[in-house]
Amino acid sequence: MLRCGKFKLTLNHPLIMGIVNLTADSFSGDGLDSDCQRAIAHAWHQIEAGADLLDLGAESSRPGAIPVTTEEELKRLLPVLDALRDCGVPLSVDTYKPEVMRAVLDHGASMINDIYALRLSGALEAVATSDCAVCLMHMQGEPLNMQKTPVYTDVFGEVRDFLANRVQASLSAGIAAERLLLDPGFGFGKTLEHNLVLLRHLEALSINGLPLLAGISRKSMLGTITGRPVEQRLAGSLSAALLAAQQGAHILRVHDVAETRDALAVWQAFTG
Ligand code: 7PM
């Protein structure tokens, strides 16, 4: 069970988190209003396709991406959150800025998905006073430089120790364990080999039995394996989603909700 704002999520089978991209570079450049309208339509499409929750992100965490300002991030997020407030599924927001966290929680967000795992000053406090869920993700370096030369002596041990430290910091700040989710951060300062080690040992990253989130959909590790560009990674993404489910992931963060639902239905029929 995961406490997620006004929702309580049952995690006895894997849930699908549909990605809703609000970054400027994911749209055609017709302006903010049309970007927001398109994002809202895409969110409804994801819900109709069977998303159990949505992840809204207005700052790209793509390797090499330039950060956006708080103002720009909120201008993109708040209208979409307001429009989706009663959509029936929990809304997660992909952000690491404490000021953005506070604002989106005031606008009905039920989860904070933080690629910095609440490491920025003020982030622990920003979520402590709410009842949102929090995804603590591992990243080595920062988006601007993380994929240059990822180095570990023991990738599994280092990711596990990092997550254990962030769990401790969260608990100390007064965030209840029932609100926490853990994520190895596939592709965030990791080579293909690092990602594969983490996937093979995913279940063992579940510190104190906390639920696990896996985000592999369309990522470059799939491009490295298959040789395919991002728009041709559906088969790779579905295969990876099933492997993550098999390795104990509780929430799968994906672009292709309908297809992932079908793949999971086959996996669930098999596992019984
Ligand atoms: C380019 C490369 C653009 C990678 C976008 C991305 C995760 C996340 C992202 C994840 C959690 C993407 C990523 N990935 N949050 N945000 N876990 N918790 O594929 O793996 O969307 S951004």
Q: Which two tokens stand for residue 242?
A: 């099933």
- Pocket lining: 253 vs ligand 1, CB cutoff 6 Å: yes
Predicted pLDDT at 27: 66
Is residue 21 within 8 A of residue 39, CB to CB? The reply is: yes
The pLDDT of residue 243 is above 70: yes
With vertex at residue 141, the alpha carbon angle to CA 164 and CA 160, rounded to the nearest 5 degrees, is: 20
pLDDT at residue 66, rounded to an integer: 78
Paired with 53 in beta bridges are 17
Strands 15-21 and 251-254: parallel
Rounded CA-CA distance 16/39 in Å is 18
Which residue, by CA, sits nearest to atom 2 of ligand 1?
62
Instruction: Render pLDDT for 193-231 as a digit per residue (tens, 0 to 9).
Output: 999 999 999 999 999 999 999 999 999 999 999 999 999
Looking at per-residue pLDDT, the higher value among 32 and 134 belongs to 134
Query: Does the pLDDT at position 111 exceed 80?
Result: yes
Dig out the tokens for 63 from the structure: 């390797």
* Domains present along the chain, CATH in parentheses: 13-271 (3.20.20.20)
Tell me which residue has its CA closest to atom 3 in ligand 1. Answer: 62
Annotated catalytic residues are: 219, 253
Q: Nearest C-alpha to atom 10 of ligand 1 is from which residue? A: 215
84-104: per-residue pLDDT in tens? 999 999 999 999 999 999 999
Shortest CA distance to 108 belongs to which of 129, 126, 91? Answer: 91
**Protein residue with its CA nearest to atom 1 in ligand 1:** 62
Contact of 222 with 15, CB cutoff 8 Å? no
Q: CA-CA distance, 191 to 116, in Å (whole number)?
A: 19
185 CB near ligand 1 (under 6 Å): yes
**Does the pLDDT value for residue 36 go beyond 90?**
yes
- Structure confidence at residue 90 (pLDDT): 98
Residue showing tokens 């988190």: 17
What average pLDDT does range 131-137 have in this prediction? 98
**Confidence band for 236, pLDDT divided at 50, 70 and 90:** very high
The yes-or-no verdict on residue 62 having pLDDT over 80 is no
| For residue 30, pLDDT beyond 80 | no
CA–centroid distance, 252 to ligand 1, in Å, is: 11
Mutate to test the pocket of ligand 1, among 182, 205, 253 (most ligand atoms within 8 A of CB): 253
CA distance 101 to 9: 21
**pLDDT category of residue 61 using cuts at 50, 70 and 90:** confident
| Ligand 1 centroid distance, CA of 263 (Å) | 21
